[in-house]
Structure 1
Amino acid sequence: MSLPNVDETIDVIKKLVEIPSPSGNTNEVITFVEKLLTDMNVETKRNRKGGLIATIHGENTSKHRMLTAHVDTLGAMVKEIKPSGRLKLDLIGGFKYNAIEGEYCQIETSTGNIFSGTILMHQTSVHVYKDAGKAERNQSNMEVRIDEKVSSAEEVRELGIEVGDFVSLDPRVQVLDNGFIKSRHLDDKASVGILLELIKSVKNNNISLPNTTHFLISNNEEIGYGGNSNITQETVEYLAVDMGAMGDGQSTDEYTASICVKDASGPYHYALRKNLVKLAEDNGIGYKLDIYPYYGSDASAAIRAGNDIIHGLIGPGIDSSHAYERTHKDSIDETTKLLWHYLQAEMVE
């Protein structure tokens, strides 16, 4: 019996982050995941929101588990085409303009054409603007410089660019020899990669799971409602696999699995949390308990939607969330091992 290989998991994560998928425009990455699962002979179906549900039937078909990770990311839309030919943005998801200043991006038109650009302050040139360093990084001051010969709104529209077109950020993914992986959108494509490799190992090892288990690859988590539906009546436990946030006062690091005890939605299910801790300790898995004060997950969205479930949240530790993120293969590996044992463990009673 072999656990997922962490290097293979990182290879999948790298492929995932390189596929643009801001919330609202996730069909390409969902199709990529769907093909991987179909090649594993895993039963899949799409929900009407565009998410993907994979199912592995277990010994107990009356009590189900559901695990979810989200493949949608932060991004933006074209809010306005300025007279100068630059674009004003409207952000998708909860990130800040200062985190994307100077970032390469792409604009996808409604007909599928792709244009390159850079997100910049209007007052970027220090040779022209006295307040270049002090001006506020906000929607009014930041814009996209399109890499085309355009200097008016009319010329931009002639390219086919229009209000509502999606803007995606260059992930700039790097996998280092010392085990670090840095990229945008590790939230939450690191967790999606983990789940995909877990499913592959379950199939390759012909493991019989104790309970029928669903894997929801959600596509609207960054805007609050990716995993709040398509939960079967038989589902007892619902575990979100999402990043652990790092910063002052936090326990989470880049080398262990993070188990969330509470976030902005309130405490997670106490018995499930204790079961996850026991699984980690019994199997020598590195973990940290943590509270995320400005965080919500697909599991908390499912609770808010009125589902009668036991909910939990774990994931790899991610530094600089909603910016240029980083984690380490150790955190990917420890999270994978905890989920491996969780899938084969008895449910909370």
Structure 2
Amino acid sequence: MKIQPNESYILDLLVKLLDTPSPSGFTREVIQIVREEAEALSIPFSQNEKGGAILTLKGKDSSCRIAISAHVDTLGAMVRAVNSNGTLAITSVGGFMMNSIENEYCQIHTRSGKVYTGTILSSHPSVHVYSDAREFKREERNMEVRIDELVENKEDVLKLGISVGDFISFDARPVVTSSGLVKSRHLDDKASVAALFGLLESSRREGWLPRHDLVFLISNFEEVGHGAAWIPEGVNEMIAVDMGAMGDNLSCKETDVSICAKDSSGPYDYEMTGRLIDLAKALDIPHAVDIYPHYGSDASAALQAGHNIRAALIGPGVHASHAMERTHKQAIFNTTRLLAAYVAE
């Protein structure tokens, strides 16, 4: 089945999601956006105990139930300690290179609801002061947050209400260029969440139904490994929608839909993967089949948790994953098209 995604809807929602802080474990605000979008489309919404969103779309035939997942949680950090000089020591949430967040603006989210801004720096941030500033190792113990408040010591910071365990989000800075490129932090995996909503919006606007019942899991702990360790009952197949990586020994481009044949958890289902490849070819969707040895998905978590399912993995191609990411809008739209073809065939 061919559909025409509502491109402006998808991009507008994507920017809205990107502008909403949501490191793993701190996703209530972004899940509220998911709830509001689901309600606007009259899609039933519920949540699991971890706070992830579950959306359902009834199909023509209930003999099979297909789960489609994407994750709305992102990389981030937490306050590990308040330093004596008034900066914050951090502990990472998710896996990223420390040099990828150096000099980035961030927000500190206190448990009282107060939000402060800051900048992430190494503790030797100036070549005019530190002779080893260039070589100083960028590792967690050497990174700190400079708070945008007049603080000189630990006591000053504590008076602000900042404490150990507060979440730190990285400013995403989303930009959609005139050439159709989308650059931002956290395209992993908010680009896929937007693609899923493109599928739901198309079903409502164009009045089509999937062949089988669909359950959408918008997970909120994928970046720390257990986003879809639990999935709703009765699922036969699962498609994880997550970004496709780019680099050495990989074919994927920013304009492609990535179809992953194998990742760190092992091969994905042969028949499902083959069907996705065949559909992409039939619809002339630019795509690449790749293997990601340093990658895991929500489907990986579900399989490792022992769920009796078949699983596949697709998503828009993203350059510089877990750093300053970039994709092309057509990769996102075509992810929606390929999903629609799979579920409506």
Normalising by the residue count of structure 1, what TM-score does the alignment of the two structures yield? 0.97
User: What is the identity percentage for the equivalent residue pairs of Structure 1 and Structure 2?
Assistant: 48
Alpha-carbon distance in 2 for matches of 1:82, 1:71: 31
Alpha-carbon distance in 1 for matches of 2:72, 2:291: 23
Alpha-carbon distance in 2 for matches of 1:208, 1:83: 60
Alpha-carbon distance in 1 for matches of 2:192, 2:299: 14
**1:218 maps onto 2:219 in alignment:** yes
Q: What is the match of residue 249 of structure 1?
A: 249
How many residue pairs are counted as aligned between the two chains?
Answer: 344
Alpha-carbon distance in 2 for matches of 1:284, 1:246: 21
Q: Which structure 2 residues correspond to residues 79-98 of structure 1 after superposition, within 5 A? A: 79-98=80-99
Q: CA contact under 8 A between 1:279 and 1:338: conserved in structure 2? A: yes
Q: What is the match of residue 259 of structure 1?
A: 259
Alpha-carbon distance in 2 for matches of 1:18, 1:299: 26
Q: CA contact under 8 A between 1:174 and 1:183: conserved in structure 2? A: yes
Q: Which structure 2 residues correspond to residues 1-349 of structure 1 after superposition, within 5 A? A: 2-233=3-234, 235-345=235-345
Displacement of 1:115: 0.3
Q: CA contact under 8 A between 2:181 and 2:327: conserved in structure 1? A: yes
Alpha-carbon distance in 1 for matches of 2:37, 2:141: 42
Q: CA contact under 8 A between 1:287 and 1:334: conserved in structure 2? A: no
Alignment root-mean-square deviation, CA: 1.0
Q: CA contact under 8 A between 2:231 and 2:302: conserved in structure 1? A: no
Displacement of 1:273: 0.4
Structure 1 segments of 4 or more deviating over 6 A?
Answer: none
Alpha-carbon distance in 1 for matches of 2:251, 2:11: 24
Residues 204-243 of structure 1 show CA distances to partners (whole Å, capped at 9, x for unaligned) of 222121101001100000011111213322x111000000
**Unaligned runs of at least 5 residues, structure 2:** none
Q: CA contact under 8 A between 1:69 and 1:216: conserved in structure 2? A: yes
Alpha-carbon distance in 2 for matches of 1:228, 1:342: 24
Displacement of 1:2: 4.8
Alpha-carbon distance in 2 for matches of 1:139, 1:52: 32
Residues 174-195 of structure 1 show CA distances to partners (whole Å, capped at 9, x for unaligned) of 1100101100000000000010
Residues 25-61 of structure 1 show CA distances to partners (whole Å, capped at 9, x for unaligned) of 0000000111110111111101100000000111211
Alpha-carbon distance in 2 for matches of 1:139, 1:242: 27
Alpha-carbon distance in 1 for matches of 2:94, 2:141: 18
Alpha-carbon distance in 1 for matches of 2:204, 2:9: 16
Displacement of 1:62: 2.5
Aligned-partner residue type, residue 112 of structure 1: G
Alpha-carbon distance in 2 for matches of 1:217, 1:333: 18
Displacement of 1:96: 1.4
Q: CA contact under 8 A between 1:101 and 1:120: conserved in structure 2? A: yes
Q: Secondary structure at the match of 1:230?
A: coil
**Unaligned runs of at least 5 residues, structure 1:** none
Alpha-carbon distance in 1 for matches of 2:232, 2:305: 11
Aligned-partner residue type, residue 58 of structure 2: H
Normalising by the residue count of structure 2, what TM-score does the alignment of the two structures yield? 0.98
